[in-house]
Chains A and B, each alone.
Chain A
Amino acid sequence: MNIPFDATPRRPRRVSQTTVTLAHGGGGTAMRDLIEDVFLETFAGVAHPPAEDQARFDLLALMTLGDRLAFTTDSFVVDPLFFPGGDIGSLAVCGTINDLAVGGARPVALSCAVIIEEGLPVDTLRRIARSMAHAAAEAGVSIVTGDTKVVARGACDKLFVTTTGIGVVRAGLHVGIDRARPGDVVLVNGLLGDHGAAILNARGDLALETTIESDCAPLHDLVATLIAAAPGVRMMRDATRGGVAAVLNELAEASKVGVRIRELDLPIRPEVSGFCEILGLDPLYLANEGKLVVVVPADEAPAALAAWRAHPLGREAIAIGAIVAARPGRVVMETCFGGERIVDMLVGDQLPRIC
């Protein structure tokens, strides 16, 4: 007898297992279920319909936002996946939004590719997807395309996330690492080193009790605020890996200028200072995920600081130093009682000193 096709119920597109297995990367229904259940459902509202293999954009609509396309990509492998103040999902969204924003671009859309180690709890993946959706929605950015791969245990560490973003650069705005000039002022939007300290501490092997949280935040709005207040802004960077020290060194080299900062002006919360004291670390090299380092002409600095301080992400904004002609390529810090030292780039990671 003929069994009518309709008698076989269509499989509900839900993941039934509690952990991700290699089957979820195999291209069959298990993979489709995972993508639809965990990602598409979660990204609904911020994600476009899934029908095609690529996202498509209306060029004319993009051109109303500015005159150049900005395009960037970043991979996130943070361990642990969850930490005070954020998780790998919010980090992956904010990180790429920030890389677009500091070029003067309005972020438009993101892609999200994940590499999952088999055995990851599906609930963990769900929490991270929700966190990404939340961060993207808050920033008004869509996650428009993505990819999922599952690899054997040991081939990656729990979860790696890659986000790629496009944005449109405001017409007439030109910022660059090589545009700083002597006389300009260096500003930051708040407390330094929180993310790096929070991550080191969240790994748990220090057994230090602190309340330090990651500063992970999307900075595009703060960038917009700055551009409105200081249209002559020369350079913007988010001070992630390598910290403020790395940004200032790149700036000094590319602009062929000296950078002079004052230790007493560096905004560092007492917990982070204490954390660094104990471990022999320097907060200038700690990563941030919500801090802008910008260079503005001196006459625009007061307006820039006032505008930032009225913004929730810029309340502790401060000028930390100035661009000078002396010692081009070098960053010099005036120490807390008038001594001087060079602030160089690090070779690798900061390693805690033994005594």
Chain B
Amino acid sequence: MRFVTEFRDPAVAARLIREIGTLAARLERGRENPIAVMEVCGGHTHAIFRYGLEGLLPDIIEFVHGPGCPVCVLPMGRVDDCVAIAARPEVIFATFGDAMRVPGSRKSLLQAKADGADVRMVYSPLDALALARRHKDRHVVFFGLGFETTMPATALTVLRAAREGIANFSVFCNHITIIPTLRALLAQPNFGIDGFIGPGHVSMVIGTAPYRFIAEEFGRPLVVAGFEPIDLLQSLLMVLRQLAEGRAAIENQYARVVPEHGNAAALAAVAEVYETRPTFEWRGLGSIADSGVRLRAPYAVFDAERRFAVPDIKVADPAACRCGEVLTGALKPWACAAFGGACTPDTPLGALMVSSEGACAAYHQYGGMRGAA
């Protein structure tokens, strides 16, 4: 596979790991705490585990797995809303595959499907629109989920539905935006993260400029990274270099994909279709101002939330869940009392056990030899 294998070259990895080791040894002097680097994106969490990166790095370096798994941070009440919409006889509920197993307070979409709801797995919102064209006697609801990565595709689908005058299609919009959440995390007292590995796909859309406050106001380095192991190692090295030189800047390791100013066409579609919600609830983190979007008034007919009176009841996470502490790096997944016992990928209690991109699920699946075993 060209353009993939180059980024998994063991010789290049070995050289990067040596450089990281040298730099880490230098940073370790006079330091008590580990060097904590948060990878914001769930895709990065997945890659770190899939390639076993943690085991290759010096002990002083600690990855903290951030809030960038959209499936994980979806609150249970919103899943209940999905189930309620999907249960309507006229509705075909179209969703990305990994949202199917997310538990609501009573059931997941997978269970709702077994109970008779017409839930279909799609790979793109355009597939959902195609379903609406094929089933004119039904109403197709697309479960819009994800950060800026998936936001433009949903927006473009809504624009196309409007252009084609498709009346039996709407979006249950749960798109979220990462910047306000990073700000909320950074503003916490004793936030012990030394630097960030920034999300590659989100940045492909929004560019690198929106992260500047992280360096300018909070003095933390952030390096936007690709998803291959070499990308991650190189980005980590770039973060460590900044720390060693006492700098804090926004740097772009993923320049082959991420332009400085993002994707203008995608941003235009996003601005046309969505408006910011006053607040949005994140599972494990609570309500965060300006962190979610919904459809703007001109597209109200495509808004499933306005079309169906969704219950929108807030459901608290089980008391045993300490997902918020894991998300902020205060607690390691295996140190949670529920980990591997009451909370497993089979029967997830908390957000982070839900998707393979969640930190707890990743430790459970890939890293069972560490900590918990």
Q: Which residues of A contact B (CB under 8 A)?
A: 205-206, 270, 273-274, 277, 279-280, 282, 327, 330, 332, 335-342, 344, 347-348, 351-355
Residue of B nearest to A332 (CB): B369
Contact: B71 with A354, CB < 8 Å?
Answer: yes
Contact: B52 with A340, CB < 8 Å?
Answer: yes
A279 to B122, CA, bound (A): 12
Contact: B146 with A341, CB < 8 Å?
Answer: no
Residue of B nearest to A326 (CB): B369
- List residues of chain A with CB within 8 A of the CB of B356: 353
Contact: B369 with A355, CB < 8 Å?
Answer: no
Contact: B99 with A354, CB < 8 Å?
Answer: yes
Which of A273, A280, A347 has most B Cβ within 10 Å? A347
A348 to B113, CA, bound (A): 15
A205 to B101, CA, bound (A): 21
**Chain A's nearest CB lies how many Å from the CB of B310?**
21
A214 to B364, CA, bound (A): 32
A355 to B99, CA, bound (A): 12
Contact: A351 with B51, CB < 8 Å?
Answer: no
**Chain A's nearest CB lies how many Å from the CB of B233?**
9
Q: A273-B1, A341-B51 are in contact. Are A336 and B146 (CB under 8 A)?
A: no
Residue of A nearest to B201 (CB): A355
- List residues of chain B with CB within 8 A of the CB of A340: 52, 55, 369
- List residues of chain B with CB within 8 A of the CB of A332: 369
Which of A280, A353, A354 has most B Cβ within 10 Å? A354
Contact: A205 with B122, CB < 8 Å?
Answer: yes
Interface residues of B in 202-236 (CB under 8 A from A): 229
- List residues of chain B with CB within 8 A of the CB of A277: 1, 4
Contact: B8 with A205, CB < 8 Å?
Answer: no
- List residues of chain A with CB within 8 A of the CB of B97: 351-354
Q: Does B98 contact A (CB under 8 A)?
A: yes
Encode B78-105 as 1/0 by CB contact (under 8 A) with A: 0000000000000000001111110000
From the candidates A337, A347, A352, name the one contacting B229 in the complex (CB within 8 A). A337
From the candidates A206, A337, A342, name the one contacting B51 in the complex (CB within 8 A). A337
- List residues of chain A with CB within 8 A of the CB of B314: none
Contact: A354 with B96, CB < 8 Å?
Answer: yes
Q: A337-B229, A338-B10 are in contact. Are A354 and B345 (CB under 8 A)?
A: no
**Chain B's nearest CB lies how many Å from the CB of A131?**
29
- List residues of chain A with CB within 8 A of the CB of B96: 352, 354
Q: A341-B50, A351-B98, A352-B97 are in contact. Are A336 and B355 (CB under 8 A)?
A: no
A335 to B71, CA, bound (A): 26
Contact: B99 with A342, CB < 8 Å?
Answer: no
- List residues of chain A with CB within 8 A of the CB of B127: 205
Interface residues of B in 281-340 (CB under 8 A from A): none
Residue of B nearest to A339 (CB): B52
From the candidates A273, A327, A337, A353, name the one contacting B98 in the complex (CB within 8 A). A353
A308 to B367, CA, bound (A): 35
Contact: B149 with A335, CB < 8 Å?
Answer: no
Q: Does B56 contact A (CB under 8 A)?
A: yes
**Chain B's nearest CB lies how many Å from the CB of A170?**
38
Contact: A336 with B122, CB < 8 Å?
Answer: no
Contact: B123 with A352, CB < 8 Å?
Answer: yes
Q: Does B14 contact A (CB under 8 A)?
A: yes
A315 to B54, CA, bound (A): 37
Contact: A342 with B365, CB < 8 Å?
Answer: yes
Residue of B nearest to A343 (CB): B366
**Chain A's nearest CB lies how many Å from the CB of B74?**
11
**Chain B's nearest CB lies how many Å from the CB of A150?**
24
Query: What are the nearest 4 A-B pairs in CB distance?
Result: A339-B52, A337-B10, A351-B97, A337-B13
Q: Does B43 contact A (CB under 8 A)?
A: yes
Q: Does B346 contact A (CB under 8 A)?
A: yes
Q: Does B150 contact A (CB under 8 A)?
A: yes
- List residues of chain A with CB within 8 A of the CB of B150: 354-355
Q: A344-B365, A352-B97, A354-B70 are in contact. Are A335 and B357 (CB under 8 A)?
A: no
Q: Does B147 contact A (CB under 8 A)?
A: yes
**Chain A's nearest CB lies how many Å from the CB of B258?**
14
Encode B337-371 as 1/0 by CB contact (under 8 A) with A: 00000000110000000011100000011111100
